Amino acid sequence: MLTTFDRYLLKRFFYAFLVCFLGTLGVFFVFDAFTNADEFLKVSPEGEIWPIAKRMGVYYACQAILFLGTAGHVLCVLAVMVVLSMVQRTGELHPLLAAGVPLYRVVLPLVLGVVMVNAAMIANQECLLPRIAPMLQAPRGRDVEYGVNVRPTRDFATHVLISAKRLFPASSRLENAEFVLPVPDIVARLTTLKAKRARFLVDGPDGQSGWLLGGLTPKPDKLTLTGPGRDVVRVGARRTTVFVVSGVTPDQLSDKADTGRFLSTPDLYRRVRNPSQTTRSAHGQVLALHARLTRPLLNVCAVFLVVPFLVRREGCGLVANLAVGVVAMLVTLGLGETCLYLASIHMISADVAAWSPILACGTFATWCAPNVET
């Protein structure tokens, strides 16, 4: 059960986290808005303020949600450091230690606050980010209805190359799509199937996913499909549409697509098991999945690591202790990023890269624990 002082520390933690979050977010907004002001002016060529302000509000509201998932883990540790420094500065910590309360019992509500913030970030990742992913991929000066640029992508399960003029992520549509059908896997001679419109279906014929094409050139009856090709390219009953079986989803075609930052964890897991992508992409997504699952635990370990440096028996002063704590936090983050980089170039495995920082941070925090002030 939380005591009055526990609730007081928890309140100060959330206040410090909110100040750190809004401060860093404000710096990002000001820098980004002034740097890309010309992009936002494209919203209203006549120079009207309201459309520009509306577009900026929508764009930066979505960016704030993304920023929480990107920087929230660092800000959690920073907020813990700020609270511990403030309670030492005001002399609120010493009476509790003099009464025999262990230091780690004092910081327990701060750990609870870190866990609650991490739970909010998990909900943000699983629920909010997938919903606003189309808006995050849209350019600054355009709404999502204008579509985004397409990155040509090969389906490595069927060897079909997919490209288009524009992609509309919200409705899973392509404009002026082109599907290059390979020889001899699908067609007898190399064919580029052009479609004025294409829509991705998760549950297509026989429950398979793929692209439903309309406005075709050449006509479906002109295709020289092979036997296996008829299982991939299926002509509609009216012979005016074609369904191309593919595991390449709309978000994989976006030129802003990455290793799954906008995907929920179940979607990312399904993406990992998707045979339509390259081995390199699958490896990056496996790494992202491991990092996502272990990041909350690393965040808690980082809190226990900075506590012995902030509240030490023989400290060199509050400012010096805070500086050492910041260095310890940066070393922890640097170790995590280094392990991820080594895994990305296949020097270590993904699971080793994800768990090594936690083991190192936990071991070092345990080794430094006897140095805390009591």
Q: What is the pLDDT of residue 259?
A: 55
As to burial, measured by CB atoms within 10 angstroms (0-12 exposed, 13-18 middle, 19+ buried), residue 279 is exposed
State the residue for tokens 């740097």: 35
Tokens of 341: 């980089």
Helices and strands of the chain, counted as H and E runs: 13, 8
Provide the β-strand partners of residue 191. Answer: 181
Q: What is the pLDDT of residue 199?
A: 92
DSSP state of 141: T
DSSP state of 173: E
Average pLDDT of adjacent 10-residue blocks, the chain of 374 residues: 87 94 91 84 76 84 89 90 88 83 86 93 91 80 71 88 87 90 88 90 86 88 86 82 89 71 85 79 83 89 87 74 82 86 87 89 87 76
Each as own residue / partner, the long-range contacts of residues 224-228 (CB below 8 Å, 24 or more positions apart, any chain) are 224/187, 224/188, 224/189, 224/191, 225/186, 225/187, 225/188, 226/184, 226/185, 226/186, 226/187, 226/188, 228/185, 228/186
Write down the pTM of the prediction. Answer: 0.84
